[in-house]
Amino acid sequence: MLEFYLRVAIYFFCFLLALIGMNALDFNRFIKQGKVVQAQILYFVICCALAYLMGNFLMALIYHFYKGSL
């Protein structure tokens, strides 16, 4: 059960980092005029994908170092 909460916390933390990182991009350049809702959905999906990738990377590192210390 602790592993589940740790996994959720890592994904949430990575999602916040992805949101902060995506603010560095000038996303308005890539948006067609009048397609605001679609752009917000794309922004959210990109943040989710980045969070998933970062989270899996961090969990693999944690597992590798934890497994190696046993």
Per-residue pLDDT of 12-29, as tens digits, reads: 999 999 999 998 988 888
Residues in the chain with pLDDT < 70? 68-70
Distances in Å between the alpha carbon of 62 and those of 8, 25, 70? 14, 30, 13
How much is the pLDDT for 62?
A: 87
How much is the pLDDT for 69?
A: 60
How much is the pLDDT for 68?
A: 63
Burial of 12-45, coded b for 16+ CB within 10 Å and e otherwise, reads: eebbeebeeeeeeeeeeeeeeeeeeeeeeeeeee
Tokens representing 13 are 């933390």
**pTM score of the predicted model:** 0.81
Which residue has tokens 């009048």?
A: 34
How much is the pLDDT for 67?
A: 77
